[in-house]
Amino acid sequence: MNINATLLGQTLAFVIFVAICWKWVWPPIIAIMEEREKRISDGLEAAKKAKDSLAEAQQDYDAEISKAKAEAATILEKANERAAAIVGEAKNKAESEAHKIISTANKNLEAEINKTKAQLKQDLGQIVVDTAQKIIGEEISVEKHQKIILEAAERI
């Protein structure tokens, strides 16, 4: 094989081309590739942090929801207890008022009964006096009248 000047020129041109590429072209390409690799790595790391942060936020959310549900249950239980207490107090107060009303009514009824008995005694006494006057045919004095009323009242 003959090595001629063309082959030597091509080889020399190729070596110069590789040296130029090695000196000025290859380093920026390598730098761009390293920068891109770093950005991808940073993006993956940020995604992992975001995923971890999301998981932590979900746990916090679940904990807060559980806490809120527990607080709501406690508040509801206290409200039910308070409502039961209010109903109990109202019931006791109503029973007390009913007893007072019944007691007052009984006293009033007893007073009316006593008043009616007294009125009946007077009326009976008057009837007795009138009847006695008719039977006896004479007027009865106030003293006799009182005496007859008392005797009639005692018999009743």
Phi, psi of 3 (to 5 degrees): -90, 115
67-120 tens-digit pLDDT: 999 999 999 999 999 999 999 999 999 999 999 999 998 988 988 898 888 888
Q: What is residue 45's predicted lDDT score, i.e. its pLDDT?
A: 94
Q: What is residue 148's predicted lDDT score, i.e. its pLDDT?
A: 73
* pTM, rounded to two decimals: 0.43
Contact 129, 145 (CB under 8 A): yes
In this structure, of 19-33, 52-66, 83-97, 137-151, the range with the lowest mean pLDDT score is: 137-151
